[in-house]
């Protein structure tokens, strides 16, 4: 066996989905005993590349070599057989089963036709020991902390004698302390000759843990260098492109008035004035959706499902008055509107008609439905927002993404909302409809509404918002005005760089 040969080499990998190029002749390699970081903005092609490496999707062209031998992966099983493991962001564990059963899921050691629990427990303990951690193999996974569960997932990869482990944003759900422990385990694995591909948005970690770093942008390979030879700024520039684009800057924003429509004070401080559009930037998991849903009184359900008990210590003022927003009912009563990140599951009743969806948030102060009044109002908004529907009774499920989003906006306009919380308002919407949505947002603000808009697309925020507030790990990392906003500056704040 040639020890100097790369564990894995991907040469000129290209891949298209439905005519859209997501990877263009990308080259990537991993040596044994190294941590190779893979960075890039959302949509840069990281996940696709990793899905190809782990056999989930085949490449359109290009070749892959494992220790100089060409390989062809027909599916995840082939990759597993070669010792390639993928530790996913959403951990794939069975909570009811024990640690050991999860580690050996599907490959229990068997003797005489029965599962050999003694051997399974002993080997699990040994593997966890190699990762520098002690967890009782008999404990059910449901009892473990997130960090421990992640370790079980890694232990599974080690128990399968994986030589190549891919980790996708492993520290996203972890505290700093747990992240440190994870890094210790990663270093132990590296010392044993395992190669790790480490995907993260947190550049700080990449400098801490990785040996080399590769940047992808728009499906192309931008750079691969030893981490010690690049700076934070160089990485950011490589991720977003050298020339800073000041497109989309023509908008009619700037109608902000001095009156405060929304103020949050406490662990997060933020103000939105009437007529103002405030952008909310941050990487995936920075807490933008959490903040908006908490503002809207919808945080309770989230806390219940995650078992988190830390109530945010902050108060909210709407139009200068303290508001108790404990449920969405309170929020609607205070004139707030939430356009959620996922309109299909959170914004619309898909099976119901256009009319029913537009009427969903309003008119609840009355006992009887005023049908003709509602039909008239709905027709008005359909005209004003240029919503392309066959009729009020058409079910919204068959409408296009852009049209559905307009129905969600019409719902809140009908309810008379004055403070709009928009979460990824153009996600999954085609370009033409996006421009229409931007116009609507500007029109809203022009009419004196306050808009707080979260988006992962920096260009969009820079084009629409008067100010951009940047979040990092649940906190506000800084704020940039429209005039001084550059992608570089926002990314710097969003990746934890100091202001």
Residues in the site for another protein, rule: CB under 8 A?
A: 296, 298, 301, 304, 327-329, 331-333, 338, 340, 345-353, 355-356, 359-361, 363-364, 366-369, 371, 391-393, 395, 397-398, 411, 415
Nearer to another protein, 417 or 465 (CB): 417
CA distance 357 to 49: 40
Using N-to-C axis directions, what is the helix angle for 176-191 and 146-159, rounded to 10°?
10
Q: How far is the CB of 181 from another protein (least distance, A)?
A: 33
CA distance 478 to 469: 6
Q: How far is the CB of 208 from another protein (least distance, A)?
A: 39
Distances in whole angstroms, Cα of residue 268 to Cα of each of 263, 295, 485: 10, 11, 21
Nearer to another protein, 235 or 331 (CB): 331
Nearer to another protein, 171 or 356 (CB): 356
Q: How far is the CB of 346 from another protein (least distance, A)?
A: 5
What is the number of other CB atoms lying within 10 angstroms of the CB of residue 353? 17
Nearer to another protein, 172 or 352 (CB): 352
Contacts for 241 with CB less than 8 Å, ≥ 6 apart = 217
Nearer to another protein, 59 or 299 (CB): 299
CA distance 327 to 158: 45
Q: How far is the CB of 343 from another protein (least distance, A)?
A: 8
Nearer to another protein, 306 or 481 (CB): 306
CA distance 267 to 397: 39
Q: Which residues of 445-476 are buried (b: 16+ CB within 10 A; e: fewer)?
A: beeebbbbbbbbbbebbbbbbbbbbbbbbeeb
Q: How far is CA 493 from the centre of its chain?
A: 17
Q: How far is the CB of 207 from another protein (least distance, A)?
A: 40
Is residue 486 classed as helix, strand or coil in its secondary structure?
Answer: coil
Q: How far is the CB of 391 from another protein (least distance, A)?
A: 7
Is residue 476 classed as helix, strand or coil in its secondary structure?
Answer: strand
Q: How far is the CB of 289 from another protein (least distance, A)?
A: 12
The one-character DSSP state at 483 is T
Nearer to another protein, 411 or 442 (CB): 411
CA distance 156 to 165: 11
Q: How far is the CB of 266 from another protein (least distance, A)?
A: 23
Q: How far is the CB of 330 from another protein (least distance, A)?
A: 9
Contacts for 26 with CB less than 8 Å, ≥ 6 apart = 10, 12, 13, 14, 45, 49, 62, 216, 219, 220, 221
Contacts for 317 with CB less than 8 Å, ≥ 6 apart = 260, 262, 263, 264, 265, 323
Q: How far is the CB of 288 from another protein (least distance, A)?
A: 16
Q: How far is the CB of 294 from another protein (least distance, A)?
A: 13
Distances in whole angstroms, Cα of residue 399 to Cα of each of 160, 231, 338, 391, 433: 47, 47, 20, 12, 13
Nearer to another protein, 339 or 440 (CB): 339
What is the number of other CB atoms lying within 10 angstroms of the CB of residue 320? 11
Nearer to another protein, 184 or 371 (CB): 371
Nearer to another protein, 45 or 297 (CB): 297
Nearer to another protein, 111 or 345 (CB): 345
């Amino acid at each position: 066996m040639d020890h100097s040969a790369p564990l894995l080499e991907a040469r000129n990998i290209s891949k298209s989905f439905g005519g859209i190029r997501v990877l263009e002749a990308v080259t990537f390699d991993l040596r044994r005993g190294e941590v190779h970081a893979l960075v890039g903005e959302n949509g840069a092609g990281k996940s696709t590349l990793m899905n190809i490496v782990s056999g989930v999707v085949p490449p359109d062209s290009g070749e892959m070599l494992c220790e100089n031998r060409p390989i062809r992966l027909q599916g995840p099983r082939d990759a597993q057989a070669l010792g390639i493991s993928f530790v996913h962001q959403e951990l794939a564990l069975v909570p009811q089963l024990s640690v050991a059963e999860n580690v050996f899921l599907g490959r229990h050691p068997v003797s005489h036709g029965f599962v050999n629990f003694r051997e399974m427990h002993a080997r699990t303990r040994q593997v966890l020991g190699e990762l520098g951690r002690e967890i009782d193999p008999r404990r059910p996974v449901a009892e473990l902390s997130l960090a421990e569960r992640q370790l079980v997932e890694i232990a599974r990869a080690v128990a399968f004698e994986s030589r190549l482990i891919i980790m996708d944003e492993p520290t996203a759900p972890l505290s700093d302390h747990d992240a440190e422990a994870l890094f210790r385990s990663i270093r132990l694995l590296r010392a044993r000759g395992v190669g790790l591909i480490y995907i993260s948005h947190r550049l700080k970690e990449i400098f801490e843990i990785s040996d080399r770093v590769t940047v992808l942008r728009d499906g192309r390979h931008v750079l691969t260098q030893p981490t010690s030879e690049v700076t934070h700024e160089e990485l950011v520039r490589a991720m977003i492109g050298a020339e800073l684009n000041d497109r989309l800057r023509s908008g009619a924003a700037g109608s902000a008035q001095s009156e405060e429509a929304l103020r949050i004070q406490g662990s997060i401080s933020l103000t939105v004035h009437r007529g103002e559009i405030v952008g909310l930037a941050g990487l995936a998991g920075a807490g933008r959706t959490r903040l908006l849903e908490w503002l809207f009184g919808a945080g309770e359900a989230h806390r219940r499902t995650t078992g988190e008990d830390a109530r945010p210590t902050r108060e909210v003022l709407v139009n200068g008055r303290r508001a108790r927003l404990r449920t969405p009912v309170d929020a609607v009563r205070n004139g707030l509107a939430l356009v959620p990140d996922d309109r299909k599951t959170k914004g619309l009743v898909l099976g119901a008609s256009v009319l029913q969806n537009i009427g969903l948030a309003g008119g609840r102060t009355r006992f009887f439905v005023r049908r003709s009044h509602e039909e008239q109002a709905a027709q008005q908004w359909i005209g004003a927002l240029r919503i392309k529907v066959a009729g009020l009774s058409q079910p919204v499920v068959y409408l296009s993404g852009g049209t559905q989003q307009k129905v969600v906006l019409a719902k809140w306009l009908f309810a008379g909302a004055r403070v709009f919380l928009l979460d990824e308002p153009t996600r999954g919407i085609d370009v033409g409809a996006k421009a229409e949505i931007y116009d609507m947002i500007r029109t809203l603000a022009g009419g004196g509404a306050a808009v707080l808009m979260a988006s992962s697309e920096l260009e969009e925020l820079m084009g629409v918002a008067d100010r951009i507030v940047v979040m990092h790990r649940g906190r506000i990392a800084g704020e940039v005005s429209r005039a001084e906003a550059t992608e570089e500056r926002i990314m710097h704040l969003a990746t934890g760089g100091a202001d």
